[in-house]
Chains A and B, each alone.
Chain A
Amino acid sequence: MTLKQGIFGMAAGLLVAGSAAMAQEIRFMCYSDGNECEAAGEIIDRFEAENEGVTVVIDKVPYKAILENLPVQLAAGTGPDMAKVTDLGGLSQYYLDLAPHVDTAYWEESFGPILNWYRSGPEDSGVYGLHSQLTITGPYINTTLFEQAGVEVPGEDATWDDWAEAARAVAEATETPFAMAIDRSGHRIAGPAISYGAQLFAEDGTPILVDEGFQTFAQKFVDWNADGTMARDVWGATGGTTYQDAAQEFINGELVFYYSGSWNVQRMDSSIGDAFDWAVVSSPCGPAACSGMPGGAGIVGFKDTEHPEIVAKLIDFLAQKDNYAELAGKSLNIPAHGVVITEGMTYESASPAAGAALNAYASQLPKVSPIAFAYQGYKLNRAMFNISATRITQAIVGELTVEEAMERAKEDLAQALDEAGE
């Protein structure tokens, strides 16, 4: 080999190796309730500008793909580099531990106990996810309908019964088709059930789901569906694990009281416009609490990624105070970042109603029961959510009595725990 050939060969080798090192493509699987992916995209553009050679491809997918396709992809080792997920604990086995790549003290200080929601158990101290969207469940009410009906809006400590009575009165007076609705989701009824005394876990931490408090609320909910207080279409017209919300009914002005959550503020704001006035009110009380259910979504990296450092760097970039505040502000979400919360959020793109709604939701956080936080952090909570939705629906449509539905729920939970090796 001549010297010329050698130099040429080395140069070619270096070029190939260099371009391989330069071209780092990160695939980010993202879903939006409103504009979260777009808001994150703007910040990610800046990250790309600061990190030459890194390309982040945002694959925007429906929420169903995150719930159903992503876990299978991850199990098969063909998942993306990072994703926005809601089954926070359930996917913990696949998460990339960011701790070796980030300032863990900053993360602990900023996100504190929420980091536990992403961990596999109490002994795990890794840093896995950026909680980009802290949500809390609670009610939206159509205040225009209350005014038209001349019914006083129940106060902060009003019970579920008070709200049911008021919503029925408004619906009757204004000939509105539905008085109340709760999204068809086990997560959504968890807050009310806890307010009625549901413990969900035994003293030793074993999940039990059904107890006296849970059954009491289940019975009340089934009765409300039977007497027309609740829009029966939401829970009663579907089956299985199908998620069904009632946002469109509320947006159409066909619903007085809609129990959903803070993730819908952006949708309400943009869809309702000035068609009518709406507000977010305190979570109704039961005998045990006035609790909503926390939750939300987080951005996580996966340990199968070929670029763990870049993924960690990107998530850490999003977690920085200013970027995080920008993300929460643009997507109209409640922040989970301690300093951002303390300094207060400005929602520049929000209408006064949306701003008030977000603040109302944020003010509910102190009322959230510790059981609700524990439930949200439990890695098999999705199994419990699905069981609740399936079995309570069967009681609503009359396939089972409430007692039978609760017995079945216990058996389903036992099978789920058994299969999951718990």
Chain B
Amino acid sequence: MLLRLISPLMNLIDLPMQFLQRRFGITRLAWVFLLPNLLLFGTFAFLPILLNFAYAFTGTDKILLMERSFVGTENFVQLLDCDNYLDPNTCVRDLFWRSVHNTAWFIVLQVGFMVGLSLLTALVLNRKIRARGFFRAVFFFPVLLSPVVVALIWKWVLQRNGILNAGLEAVGLESVVWMLDRHWAFFWSVFLSVWAHMGFYTLILLAGLQAIPRDVYEAAVMDAANPWRTFRRITLPLLMPTMLVVLVLALIKGVQTFDEVYAFSGGGPGSATTLIIQYIYETGFAGAPRLFGPAAAASLLLALLLVVLTGVQLWITRRSSNG
């Protein structure tokens, strides 16, 4: 019935297709199909990349390229001008280096906790526990939330008169103004990021766990291997390719973190939770005058890091798919 309905439509398409095949030949026809997407991709992806390069090597607060002056590598030189890279106070662009340090710590902690907790959760959810489907949904639910919603939820929980402090006071403990302490603010930024994204990585690891053949575990049981040994010698090695993919994906996502932390803490207290994307955003768009050059240079440095991380991911993926 359906076929009968759509066949006149297919005939309609058939005619122009035959014309295009005759006009361009069968091999070049692929380009015709790709053209609309290439145009969109070129306009909204490649062109901005090229523009970013142009901005990084030019100065002034003007937005139109023809009004900007060429400054060579000055924007990069200023960003990288440091007496001691471990001490942002010795750098010309101290806020950039604070954001680099924060981002480095953020990805170490966030990725560490993310992978560890996702693995633990996946292991638990892979067992035959009661209400397994419900718990899988619960852990995945935060992934569906908008980053701003995640930030606001935790902001309300952690504010001076928030639910967490009410709970602490209810059990006789002193309340804490979490967002005034740089260490607590950083901890909660990592926490909310892990909470928001853990479900996604748990799902990947769960799929990895379910792909491990059952007979390997049966053999382990026959050999009287204890659960810890089974985990260490069977689960972990066989899950390693999936783990590596998760690790690299989490790493890239960690470097790109902006929205939830920005909406949560505004990068504060001071610059304690300012991550590199926030630095780029504030330098290029929220400040005055808008320093498009330094912002573009910083984003190119970030892009370089992301290219390296993506390369690692591709290498790992190829290696694991080749066995």
Q: Which residues of A contact B (CB under 8 A)?
A: 67-68, 71-72, 75-76, 87, 90, 177, 232-233, 236-242, 244, 380, 382-383, 385-386, 390, 393-394, 396-400, 404, 408, 411, 415-416, 419-421
Contacts and interface: CB of A to CB of B under 8 A. Distances in A.
A240 B160 contact: no
B16 to A, nearest CB: 34
Contact of B270 (A71, A87, A239, A382): A239
A41 to B, nearest CB: 29
B192 to A, nearest CB: 15
Contacts, number: 110
27 contacts: A68-B285, A68-B286, A72-B63, A72-B285, A75-B64, A177-B160, A233-B180, A237-B179, A237-B180, A237-B268, A238-B267, A239-B271, A239-B272, A240-B278, A240-B286, A244-B266, A383-B289, A394-B270, A394-B271, A396-B270, A397-B272, A415-B291, A419-B59, A419-B60, A419-B289, A421-B60, A421-B61
A397 B268 contact: yes
Contacts of A386: 287-288
Contacts of A390: 95
Given A233-B160, A239-B274, A383 B287 contact: yes
B208 interface: no
B293 interface: yes
B88 to A, nearest CB: 9
Given A237-B180, A238-B179, A419-B59, 16 more contacts: A87-B288, A90-B288, A233-B179, A237-B265, A238-B268, A240-B278, A240-B286, A241-B282, A383-B287, A386-B288, A393-B268, A393-B269, A396-B270, A399-B182, A415-B291, A416-B288
Contact of B290 (A71, A233, A237, A408): A71
A116 B64 CA distance: 27
Nearest to B286: A241
A242 B180 contact: no
B162 to A, nearest CB: 12
**10 closest Cβ pairs, A-B complex:** A239-B268, A242-B266, A75-B63, A397-B270, A382-B288, A239-B267, A238-B266, A238-B268, A237-B179, A240-B267
A365 B185 CA distance: 41
A380 B293 contact: no
A68 B262 CA distance: 16
A160 B274 CA distance: 32
Contact of A239 (B62, B269, B290, B293): B269
Contacts of A233: 160, 177, 179-180
A75 B60 CA distance: 13
B259 interface: no
A53 to B, nearest CB: 34
A63 B272 CA distance: 26
Contacts of A238: 179, 265-269
A177 B60 CA distance: 46
A52 B268 CA distance: 52
Interface residues of B, number: 37
B180 A240 contact: no
Nearest to B292: A419
Nearest to B270: A397
A383 B286 CA distance: 10
Contacts of A380: 288-289
Contacts of A75: 62-64
A103 to B, nearest CB: 33
A416 B291 CA distance: 8
- Best-buried of B61, B177, B182, B185 by chain A (most CB within 10 Å): B61
A400 B89 contact: yes
Contact of B63 (A76, A242, A397, A416): A76
Contacts of A71: 290
A353 B291 CA distance: 44
A240 B274 CA distance: 8
B199 to A, nearest CB: 29
Contacts of A90: 288
- Best-buried of A238, A386, A416 by chain B (most CB within 10 Å): A238
Contacts of B110: none
Contacts of A393: 268-270
Contacts of B293: 419
Nearest to B62: A75
Contacts of B94: 408
Contact of B269 (A236, A400, A404, A421): A236
A67 to B, nearest CB: 8
Contacts of A241: 282, 286-287
B182 A420 contact: no
Contacts of A399: 98, 182, 270-272
Nearest to B281: A240
Contacts of A416: 287-289, 291
B265 A239 contact: yes
A71 B284 CA distance: 12
A244 B265 CA distance: 11
A420 B180 contact: no
B288 A397 contact: no
B266 to A, nearest CB: 4
